[in-house]
């Protein structure tokens, strides 16, 4: 059932955002497809939210339809699994391990859903969603089609789904037979590492900025004391760049650059989207001025 003027702050991990003019919870792929099709027929602006992570919603909300994706079916087929796009990624990790399958441990602790992880090619601990993808089922122009991995055009924190209007319905993932005890040990270690390094005690959107790929545009002469491992992997963590600016703990309104992890902006109490925007602009300006590097946001803006 469609609702009106629902606060989106309840549906984002940042706990920030104004109201959606129209609001709908889709519990399966049929409801999800129908809601999208109806919105397109009515030429209504719409967005789909899963776990609401990696997004910042405007203080004025969204002047259109917000669809919450709860399409969370999981179907194991030997060493493959088909997961609905609204499946919570953490749930999929645990259920896979229960089945004696390995391959998704790297994603433990990543908030959000399978659909969001596919769309942004989420990654951590040198693993990423595209490593596991076999097929992605999407709704395109009113028709359900299946795309193979190559057609998804995965890159670092990107995919074709960020530049087209496809609606991700499900993903088929390739896993491997594993040892349940070993997998459980691994995810415990990774989760402890996250807890020690990330400000999980505060609402946030996760990492704000993408890590920086080292190419001909990067002036390494400005990057003193750059660890050799970053040169080896040709990637500079955004957190390292921000850390060198000595601005951890910087606060604007209710938003703060985390004192625990420099690439996190946290909501320490009634933060507004405007507070976050100001901090993002502040960080980008300092990094640009010191290193000549233009940081790119990993989070997406809604309603701006």
Query: How big, in percent rounded to 5, are the helix, strand and coil portions of the chain?
Result: 30, 30, 40
- The CB-side HSE value for 116 (13 A sphere, CA atoms) comes to 30
| 83-106 CB burial, b ≥16 within 10 A, e <16 | bbbbbbbbebbebbbebebbbbbb
CA distances to 31, 33, 128, 195 from 164, rounded to whole Å, are 21, 16, 21, 35
Looking at the annotation, which residues are catalytic? Answer: 157, 207, 298
> Residue 304 CB: number of other CB atoms within 10 A?
12
Is 83 in contact with 29 (CB distance < 8 Å)?
no
**Distance (Å, whole) CA 300 – CA 304:** 10
Report DSSP state, residue 84.
Answer: E
Cα(250)–Cα(140) distance, integer angstroms:
44
Specify the 3-state DSSP secondary structure of 90: helix
- Calpha distance 264→247 (Å, rounded): 12
Give yes or no for a contact between 273 and 58, defined as CB atoms under 8 angstroms apart: yes
Tokens matching residue 271: 């933060």
- The secondary element (H helix, E strand) that includes residue 62 is strand 62-69
């Amino acid at each position: 059932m469609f609702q009106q003027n629902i606060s989106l702050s309840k549906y984002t991990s940042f706990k920030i955002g104004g109201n959606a003019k129209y609001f709908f919870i889709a519990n399966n792929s049929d409801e999800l497809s129908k809601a999208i099709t109806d919105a397109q027929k009515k030429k209504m602006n719409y967005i789909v939210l899963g776990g609401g992570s990696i997004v910042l919603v405007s203080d004025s909300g969204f002047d259109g339809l917000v669809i919450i994706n709860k399409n969370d079916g999981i179907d194991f087929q030997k060493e493959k699994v088909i997961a609905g796009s609204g499946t919570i990624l953490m749930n999929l990790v645990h259920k896979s391990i229960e089945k004696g399958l390995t391959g998704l441990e790297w994603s433990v602790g990543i908030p959000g859903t399978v659909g969001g992880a596919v769309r942004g090619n989420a990654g951590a601990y040198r693993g990423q969603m595209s490593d596991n993808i076999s097929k992605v089922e999407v709704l395109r122009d009113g028709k359900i089609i299946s795309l193979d991995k190559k057609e998804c055009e995965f890159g670092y924190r990107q995919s074709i789904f960020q530049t087209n209007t496809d609606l991700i319905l499900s993903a088929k993932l390739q896993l491997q037979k594993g040892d349940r005890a070993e997998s459980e040990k691994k995810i415990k270690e990774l989760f402890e590492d996250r807890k020690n390094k990330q400000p999980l005690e505060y609402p946030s959107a996760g990492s704000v900025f993408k890590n920086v790929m080292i190419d001909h545009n990067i002036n390494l002469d400005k990057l003193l004391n750059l660890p050799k491992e970053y040169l080896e992997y040709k990637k500079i963590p955004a957190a390292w760049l921000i850390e060198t600016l000595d601005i951890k703990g910087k606060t604007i309104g209710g938003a703060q650059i985390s004192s625990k992890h420099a690439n996190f902006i946290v909501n320490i109490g009634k933060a507004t989207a405007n507070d976050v925007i100001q901090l993002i602009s502040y960080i980008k300006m300092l990094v640009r001025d010191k290193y000549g590097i233009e940081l790119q946001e990993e989070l997406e803006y809604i309603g701006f």
